[in-house]
Copies of this chain bind each other. A is one copy, B any other.
């Protein structure tokens, strides 16, 4: 029942990569989504050994992106950093390098969207060369000013179709997309191009914009229905549980994983 479950490291944010890997092993979770700050902390070679020795599959590296910037020089700095992220994803054999595309440097959201297109155009050949898939993750519109100007499935799909590459696809996260009146049609449109699927829940009320996500099953999202759509669109890979929640971070990691496994079976 847990064969498709993956632990995204942000869910147990206080754990180092070693602790998360060991936690997954204890809980019988077969995959992990790795964050780059945890990777840097462990060192890449050591990280590769850790996940290999544990027999863990790496479902994603979080994250690349953040393409828009005020100057061409700064945009190049971002591309260089994205290339390093591609290298890391390659070393770990990750299914996908997740792209959080970045906010606008000013009030011109249209220009920032153009910078995202240019950033992906600059990065994609290198990703292909290294055999790394890039996953565009449309974020919830409440993150438009701070994290990503790509905030709808329609926009992400259009971006992905424009490049028409087997190395560029969609990262679908229920938290970011559940509200979309066009959800069914846009997930179907992405068929064959879905590179990852994340789950968490929308709490009512939501205690915090960034750190207020809920344990699966605790909120308003019909996760099972969205999972069925994503399955129907041909996605058969890992399902990452990615919960940004401070209260959860303050809970012992093994307890979080136990609850998460239980809820995954019940609600996903």
Contacts and interface: CB of A to CB of B under 8 A. Distances in A.
A231 interface: no
A202 B109 CA distance: 13
> Of residues A145, A146, A181, which shows the largest number of chain B Cβ atoms within 10 Å of its Cβ?
A181
A216 B205 CA distance: 26
A260 B53 CA distance: 62
A113 interface: yes
Contacts of A202: 144-145
Given A108-B222, A209-B209, A152 B140 contact: no
Interface in A93-124: 104, 107-109, 113
A182 B181 CA distance: 14
Interface in A203-232: 204-206, 209, 219-222, 225
A166 interface: no
Interface of A: 104, 107-109, 113, 140-142, 144-146, 151-152, 154-155, 178-182, 202, 204-206, 209, 219-222, 225
Given A141-B180, A142-B142, A146-B204, 19 more contacts: A104-B220, A107-B221, A107-B225, A108-B222, A109-B179, A109-B222, A113-B181, A140-B141, A140-B142, A141-B141, A141-B179, A142-B209, A144-B179, A144-B220, A145-B179, A145-B202, A145-B206, A145-B220, A152-B180
15 contacts: A107-B225, A108-B222, A141-B142, A141-B179, A141-B180, A142-B206, A144-B179, A145-B179, A145-B204, A146-B204, A146-B205, A151-B179, A152-B180, A206-B209, A209-B209
Cβ-closest 5 pairs across A and B = A144-B179, A145-B220, A107-B222, A141-B179, A142-B142
